[in-house]
Structure 1
Amino acid sequence: MHSPTMPASTRRFVLALAGTAALAVSAVSTAVPAGAAPTTVHTKGGTSWVRACDTLAKGDTMACDALRVTSTVQRVHALGVTPDATPSGYGPSDLRSAYNLPVGGGAGQTVAIVDAYDDPNAESDLAVYRSQYGLPACTTANGCFKKVNQTGGTKYPTKNSGWAGEISLDLDMVSAVAPNAKIILVEATSATTANLGTSVNTAVRLGAKFVSNSYGGPESSSDPSYDNSYFNHPGVAITVSAGDSAYGAQYPASSRYVTSVGGTALNRSSTARGWSESVWSTSSTEGTGSGCSAYDAKPSWQKDTGCGRRTVSDVSAVADPATGVAVYQTYGGSGWAVYGGTSASSPIIAGVYALAGTPSAGSSPASFPYAHTSALNDVTTGSNGSCSPSYLCKAGPGYDGPTGLGTPNGTTAFAG
């Protein structure tokens, strides 16, 4: 949003102001569309947001990790800015700049998005996003876009406006990072581990070499068996959001077969890079997830010594809703919105994997960043809670739980 006298860089700064404010979090009630059911508004530095999937449907075990900003327009009005059709939030050029990514990448690759329930406007909303930013059309008609249910058919599940926001976020982030990749949207019947896991298997069966999962739930003793049933796909890069509930591990981010993606606050800076990042943390109960798994074995490439099992995360990208990304959503939304949460960082990283090229057969793409740590932006400030040892919840030089090995600096760290 802008006025004729307000340059784009200033518009980004308006959004980023909230990312640097050290104000308390408050909660109030709000009305929401049917199916979304977020009931709590979180506020930080004048920016407010709600969880897109605040309430689980009957039988669900997983929630999406998308956070929808609700106060951007109000804040901009307060600063005397006149809104128009230009979206607030970071767009493709911002993400390319922040993460040193090429323009127009992803040709020849297929990225899958796995979510629950149906977004009936997914393809038409995606078309608006891509048109706004000059990205090539990605439609069913031209063979770029495909929407299927969890078994690969076209009888779609029940519509849900909360998960529709998640779907829009995921599709837009893959488009922003890898605009020439094909996209498969796999919609699970419901948000159970079994249905979402079946959707992952379907995505791989349909040819996706990169699969993003922006959801999670509590760990359980069944997780190691779920690993083998749904996430053990050699030669496929499977990314999973680390969660939005601050310190603590969730599944399937803690699966030893996936790349667990944490979240940062991303702001423009006067550094040579032009950007700075810190751990995304809003409160003791909201921020990027991290921690030591209670059940999943440690993969061989993970060498930290303070956790005998799987440590979350591996890498990270922008997730703070106060420094969020632009998304277009009409089912459960009214068009342009700003979103955050580790639901943003997972599809961003899936897109970066796609830019890096097809993983070799039999490889473990989750291990790739560990072999190229110098090709990542090390995030060294911020924390998402209290823990021991401290690196599991506090950023520092080298590996840490909240941001893993860091954020993308080009694609080298994501190539086998």
Structure 2
Amino acid sequence: MRTAPPTPSSNRSSTRASWRRIGASAFATATLVFAGLGTAVHASAAPAAATKTAKSASSKVTWARSCATPKKKGEMACNALRVTGGITAFQKANAHADAVTPKAADAGSPSGYGPSDLQSAYGLADAASSNGSGETIAIVDAYDDPNAESDLAAYRSYYGLSDCTTDNGCFTKVSQTGSTTSLPTADSGWAGEISLDLDMASAICPNCNITLVEAKSSSMANLGTAVNEAVKLGAKYVSNSYGGSESSSDTTYDSSYFKHAGVAITVSAGDEGYGAEYPAASRYVTSVGGTALSTSSNSRGWAEKVWNTSSTEGTGSGCSSYDVKPSWQTDTGCSKRMIADVSAVADPATGVSVYDTYGDGTGWATYGGTSASAPIIAGVYALAGTPGSSDYPAQYPYNAAGTSALNDVTSGSNGSCTTSYFCTAKSGYDGPTGWGTPAGIDAFTG
């Protein structure tokens, strides 16, 4: 485990360009006020959820759901949450370092954690600088983001990451059929999700290639087809930042879309607090929960707890109603698949910086939700190296359980449950955070 303390202010550099771009679509603003937040939603229209309010003694943050609520059975919700106001943990840390009063950032500068912060928090700085070349992370989302490549270029340039473009072969965007020209309909909500996913994959594995596979809709059938296409194109790491209610069809989806030996598939655990979602419940994927991440005076330099605001707002977890328990999962309270396996930052109040001009038209924004944690973990798998050809890499963190290769998250809960560890963090395995967060790459290799 790395012990160097974090320096959030190091993300600012006198040599950085100031990026400000105007997108083609305004961002809808159904907002919620609190310190650590979130409910998953999606659609091709603007969000139309009722506004709620909550208060925290430590901070006040407003956020908007990136996607609208699904309208049909079988549609998936994207799990991206965009901060619209208030002071994030990143801004507070920088204000403390600079001895100035924190203020909300405008679209001209980041206001969330950047690559150096995330690499420090998860002990990845050395691996990120030397690993990942030749590896491909696939990002699977619904609909098209017309600005995906240019927004990714702005993010990577600001943080000093190498170019990742179509021209140099690092970035590829295709439809669920593999076409580079016949792409889905553009969608402003899912564009924010796409930017978040691309930026987090870049932050963790800057040397990796990235393939964005866009499904023509948010149905599980189309998203699953996009997963299959990602694997067909050679990706060994596939990130999925969406979810929906479980159904009796899930076991069929498992074998049709997610049963890919030798491929690390990560899936967001959800943003609606305690309760199982699919495809996080698939026995073939790594389900990724969410934490609140803050700087600390401890030897690690960082501290984490379960991300939660209320019983319906926070990281997902729970015991599946349908999916079979994988052989490597040995908790005794759940006879079927238990969510989650591991976790990473997801609380919008301790959120990550993202550059997006099509989703909200502003450029820099701060995002949270388990949409952030899923691509982070996909990036860690990529740093760890190609999985064994017959392996299901969801097992790897279980092989390292209880070791220094994972940061055990032991505080917080995401709701009320009759079996304590389903919703409450404890020493060792628990539902909201799994076995914990990365402490280097050792827990993610066979």
TM-score, length-normalised on structure 1? 0.90
Q: How far is 1:66 from its partner?
A: 0.5
Residue 67 of structure 2: aligned partner:
53
Q: Secondary structure at the match of 2:256?
A: helix
Looking at structure 2, the residues matched to 147 and 57 of structure 1 have their Cα atoms a distance apart, in angstroms, of 27
Q: Given that residues 60 and 190 in structure 1 are in contact (C-alpha distance below 8 angstroms), is that contact kept between their aligned partners in structure 2?
A: no
Alpha-carbon distance change, 189 to 26 in structure 1, aligned in 2, over 3 angstroms: closer
Q: How far is 1:39 from its partner?
A: 3.8
Q: How far is 1:257 from its partner?
A: 0.3
Residue 368 of structure 1: aligned partner:
396
Q: How far is 1:228 from its partner?
A: 0.1
Residue 25 of structure 2: aligned partner:
none
Looking at structure 1, the residues matched to 283 and 393 of structure 2 have their Cα atoms a distance apart, in angstroms, of 11
Pairing partner for 1:86 from 109, 121, 130:
109
Looking at structure 2, the residues matched to 80 and 291 of structure 1 have their Cα atoms a distance apart, in angstroms, of 37
Pairing partner for 1:37 from 47, 53, 69:
47
1:274 aligns with 2:304: no
Looking at structure 2, the residues matched to 328 and 276 of structure 1 have their Cα atoms a distance apart, in angstroms, of 26
1:131-146 equivalences under 5 Å are: 131-146=157-172
Looking at structure 2, the residues matched to 174 and 36 of structure 1 have their Cα atoms a distance apart, in angstroms, of 26
Q: Secondary structure at the match of 2:211?
A: strand
Report the RMSD for the aligned CA atoms in angstroms. 2.5
Looking at structure 1, the residues matched to 74 and 167 of structure 2 have their Cα atoms a distance apart, in angstroms, of 33
Looking at structure 2, the residues matched to 362 and 71 of structure 1 have their Cα atoms a distance apart, in angstroms, of 46
Pairing partner for 2:440 from 400, 410, 415:
410
Higher RCO structure, 1 or 2 (CA under 8 Å, sep 6+): 2
Looking at structure 2, the residues matched to 239 and 341 of structure 1 have their Cα atoms a distance apart, in angstroms, of 14
Please give the per-residue CA displacement for 1:356-409, whole angstroms capped at 9, x wherever unaligned.
000011111000000012110000000001112100000000000000000000
Pairing partner for 1:100 from 104, 119, 123:
123
Q: How far is 1:86 from its partner?
A: 2.9
1:329 aligns with 2:356: yes
Looking at structure 2, the residues matched to 295 and 278 of structure 1 have their Cα atoms a distance apart, in angstroms, of 29
Residue 15 of structure 1: aligned partner:
none
Residue 22 of structure 2: aligned partner:
none
Amino acid corresponding to residue 64 of structure 1 in structure 2? C
Residue 119 of structure 1: aligned partner:
145
Please give the per-residue CA displacement for 1:31-79, whole angstroms capped at 9, x wherever unaligned.
xx98342544555531011211132256761010000000047999994
Looking at structure 2, the residues matched to 271 and 97 of structure 1 have their Cα atoms a distance apart, in angstroms, of 13
Looking at structure 2, the residues matched to 253 and 352 of structure 1 have their Cα atoms a distance apart, in angstroms, of 18
1:165 aligns with 2:178: no
Looking at structure 1, the residues matched to 11 and 260 of structure 2 have their Cα atoms a distance apart, in angstroms, of 42
The alignment-based identity, stated in percent, is 66
Q: Given that residues 38 and 50 in structure 1 are in contact (C-alpha distance below 8 angstroms), is that contact kept between their aligned partners in structure 2?
A: no
1:303 aligns with 2:330: yes
Looking at structure 1, the residues matched to 349 and 173 of structure 2 have their Cα atoms a distance apart, in angstroms, of 31
1:189 aligns with 2:216: yes
Q: Secondary structure at the match of 1:71?
A: strand
TM-score, length-normalised on structure 2? 0.84
Q: Given that residues 37 and 307 in structure 2 are in contact (C-alpha distance below 8 angstroms), is that contact kept between their aligned partners in structure 1?
A: no
Residue 395 of structure 1: aligned partner:
425
Please give the per-residue CA displacement for 1:241-268, whole angstroms capped at 9, x wherever unaligned.
0000000000000000000000000000
Q: How far is 1:83 from its partner?
A: 4.7
Alpha-carbon distance change, 41 to 353 in structure 1, aligned in 2, over 3 angstroms: farther
1:215 aligns with 2:242: yes
Q: Secondary structure at the match of 1:290?
A: strand
Amino acid corresponding to residue 369 of structure 1 in structure 2? P
Q: Given that residues 68 and 321 in structure 1 are in contact (C-alpha distance below 8 angstroms), is that contact kept between their aligned partners in structure 2?
A: yes
Looking at structure 2, the residues matched to 178 and 368 of structure 1 have their Cα atoms a distance apart, in angstroms, of 19
Q: Secondary structure at the match of 1:142?
A: coil
Residue 17 of structure 1: aligned partner:
none
Looking at structure 2, the residues matched to 298 and 91 of structure 1 have their Cα atoms a distance apart, in angstroms, of 36
Looking at structure 1, the residues matched to 363 and 260 of structure 2 have their Cα atoms a distance apart, in angstroms, of 36
Unaligned runs of 5+ in 1: 1-6, 13-21, 28-32
Looking at structure 1, the residues matched to 386 and 159 of structure 2 have their Cα atoms a distance apart, in angstroms, of 26
Please give the per-residue CA displacement for 1:129-156, whole angstroms capped at 9, x wherever unaligned.
0000000000000000000000101211
Looking at structure 2, the residues matched to 54 and 132 of structure 1 have their Cα atoms a distance apart, in angstroms, of 30
Looking at structure 1, the residues matched to 73 and 324 of structure 2 have their Cα atoms a distance apart, in angstroms, of 27
Pairing partner for 1:71 from 79, 85, 110:
85
Looking at structure 1, the residues matched to 166 and 37 of structure 2 have their Cα atoms a distance apart, in angstroms, of 43
Q: Given that residues 239 and 261 in structure 1 are in contact (C-alpha distance below 8 angstroms), is that contact kept between their aligned partners in structure 2?
A: yes
Q: Given that residues 38 and 51 in structure 1 are in contact (C-alpha distance below 8 angstroms), is that contact kept between their aligned partners in structure 2?
A: no
Choose 169-178 or 152-161, whichever is displaced more. 152-161
Unaligned runs of 5+ in 2: 1-6, 13-32
Q: Given that residues 35 and 349 in structure 2 are in contact (C-alpha distance below 8 angstroms), is that contact kept between their aligned partners in structure 1?
A: no
Residue 276 of structure 2: aligned partner:
249
Looking at structure 2, the residues matched to 10 and 357 of structure 1 have their Cα atoms a distance apart, in angstroms, of 28
Structure 1 runs of 4+ with >6 Å offset: 22-27, 73-78
1:130 aligns with 2:156: yes
Q: How far is 1:325 from its partner?
A: 0.1
Pairing partner for 1:356 from 384, 405, 410:
384
Q: Given that residues 36 and 160 in structure 1 are in contact (C-alpha distance below 8 angstroms), is that contact kept between their aligned partners in structure 2?
A: no
Q: Given that residues 85 and 104 in structure 2 are in contact (C-alpha distance below 8 angstroms), is that contact kept between their aligned partners in structure 1?
A: no
Q: Given that residues 139 and 145 in structure 1 are in contact (C-alpha distance below 8 angstroms), is that contact kept between their aligned partners in structure 2?
A: yes
